Amino acid sequence: MRPVSSGAVDFIDVRETNLAVVLRFIRREAPCSRAEVAAGTGLNKATISNIVAELITRGIVVEVGASEERRIGRPAVMLTLDGRRFTALGLEVNVDYLSAVMVDLAERDVLTWHEPVQAAELGAEGCVVRLADLARRAMGEMARQHREVLGITIAVPGLIGTSDGEVAEAPNLGWHEFPLVDRFREQLDDSSVALSLDNDANLGAVGEYRRGALAHTQNLVYLTGEVGVGGGVIINGALMRGSSGYGGEVGHITLMQDGPLCGCGRRGCFEALVGIGSIIQQAAPDLAGSTAQPLTDLAAKVAEVARRAEAGDPRTTAALVRVGEWLGRGSAILLNLFNPQALILGGYFVTLAPWIMPPARRTLAAHTIAPNLGGCQVALSTLGFTAAARGGASSIIDAIDTARLPLPRSGSAAHR
């Protein structure tokens, strides 16, 4: 996560760091006693008492009575995370939808929204208006529930620039050097909430790592299956960003010399072969419309492709086999280079899995040098179109856990 434009993250003191250490321990080990927290964190008992008292005052930790099984004599008072009062919001803008996922401090889902939009038609400014509206509604909902939103992360299918809060390039949205965070903050009209921005594939990988079916797999690659195809890579439990944030740009590796034209202007990119726009063009060209126009109603068109494949339409099934083969070839490059324990396919790949996965698995095995795929499990995402938004929300919780984002002092939170 790249926190930007927030006064709140400028100053983090030692006490805040110790508080984060204690909070992280309780999140992992709850229910646990103060003595266990002291033993587990190395902080002394007086410091622990102090910090726990503050966490209780802030409404983040609650005492849940005694753990009778575990002790002889006077039972210890156990601590557990409450954190219902505080929430984090992940947003995603993509070619044909907006997503919003709100989680509380214990990373429980509070709300999950998914709305269709035609991002290219709306334009960048129009998207910001819709996105801010979505955020405002979600925050209003939290206010009604007496909860506070600690931060917002926005996921975008594009290259995030080195300038704070700017989308350098999002060809499938038609955005170029767009100062998303600044424009979003203006629209939101809230100067206090911490805002950050990241690539959809990166946040999707974080979502899978924190909340997916294969959560906590230490080496994991996530592939988005949208109009764009992005890669998010977790190595030893940490997101790989590359030296300037351009890591995992799998969509534009050249797979086919003189292949079909890609949105980036090159030919034969992975995305031009297996992105959902290309899939519709190959499998159901009658639905694709003019190539000069952005695709609209993607979900309906993908559903129609699936219907035709189900009915055994030969052109459709033949095209999906070709797509699957290219998906396998591109994925083999990821396996040869990253040797992950899991490759997770998201987005529309899940919808079309019955037809594209068998050929994909065949070519993947043929083009991967390590025996048995190097131990890699190939799985479909169970997070649907909310993986990136979910990862965005989780990355805020992570920032709090590592004291990069402070919790508000007691009294500043809305009270139940």
Count of positions on this chain that bind a second copy (CB under 8 A) = 46
Nearest-approach distance from CB 162 to a second copy, in angstroms: 9
Q: Does 49 bind a second copy (CB under 8 A)?
A: no
Contact (Cβ atoms closer than 8 angstroms) between residue 395 and residue 153: yes
Quick one: which segment of 2-10, 92-100, 241-249, 293-301 binds a second copy (CB under 8 A)? Answer: 241-249
**Cis preceding-peptide flag for 31 (omega within 30 of 0):** yes
Q: What are phi and psi of 82, to 5 degrees?
A: -100, -80
Of 135, 176, 188, residue with least CA distance to 6: 188
Q: Does 404 bind a second copy (CB under 8 A)?
A: no
- Amino acid in the structure at residue 87: T
What b/e readout covers 306-332, taking b as 16+ CB neighbours within 10 angstroms?
Answer: bebbeeeeeebeebbbbbbbbbbbbbb
**Is the CB of 78 or the CB of 273 nearer to a second copy?**
273
Nearest-approach distance from CB 205 to a second copy, in angstroms: 13
Q: Could you say which residues in the range 310-339 bind a second copy, by CB under 8 A?
A: 329, 332-334, 336-339
Does an H or E element contain 182, and which?
A: helix 180-188
**Is the CB of 305 or the CB of 378 nearer to a second copy?**
378
The rounded distance, in Å, linking the Cα atoms of 352 and 354 is 6
Q: Does 219 bind a second copy (CB under 8 A)?
A: yes
Binding a second copy by CB under 8 A: which of 266, 315, 322, 362? Answer: 266
Q: Does 247 bind a second copy (CB under 8 A)?
A: yes
Contact (Cβ atoms closer than 8 angstroms) between residue 324 and residue 363: yes
Is residue 95 classed exposed, middle or buried when 0-12, 13-18 and 19+ CB atoms within 10 A define those classes? buried
Contact (Cβ atoms closer than 8 angstroms) between residue 198 and residue 185: no
**Is the CB of 130 or the CB of 267 nearer to a second copy?**
267
In this structure, the dihedral spanned by the alpha carbons of residues 313, 314, 316 and 322, taken in order and rounded to 10 degrees, is 160
Does an H or E element contain 48, and which?
A: helix 45-57
Q: Does 145 bind a second copy (CB under 8 A)?
A: no
The rounded distance, in Å, linking the Cα atoms of 397 and 317 is 43
Q: Does 209 bind a second copy (CB under 8 A)?
A: no
**Is the CB of 140 or the CB of 375 nearer to a second copy?**
375
Q: Does 349 bind a second copy (CB under 8 A)?
A: no
Q: Which CA distances in Å does 413 have to 68, 178, 212, 242, 320? A: 33, 33, 30, 37, 52
Q: Does 17 bind a second copy (CB under 8 A)?
A: no
Nearest-approach distance from CB 273 to a second copy, in angstroms: 12
**Which pair of structure tokens corresponds to residue 411?**
């009294």
Q: Could you say which residues in the range 365-394 bind a second copy, by CB under 8 A?
A: 366-367, 369-371, 374-376
Q: Does 362 bind a second copy (CB under 8 A)?
A: no
**Is the CB of 98 or the CB of 221 nearer to a second copy?**
221
Nearest-approach distance from CB 247 to a second copy, in angstroms: 4
Nearest-approach distance from CB 124 to a second copy, in angstroms: 19
Q: What are the residues binding a second copy (CB under 8 A)? A: 159, 168, 218-219, 231, 233, 235-236, 238, 240-254, 256-257, 264, 266, 329, 332-334, 336-341, 366-367, 369-371, 374-376
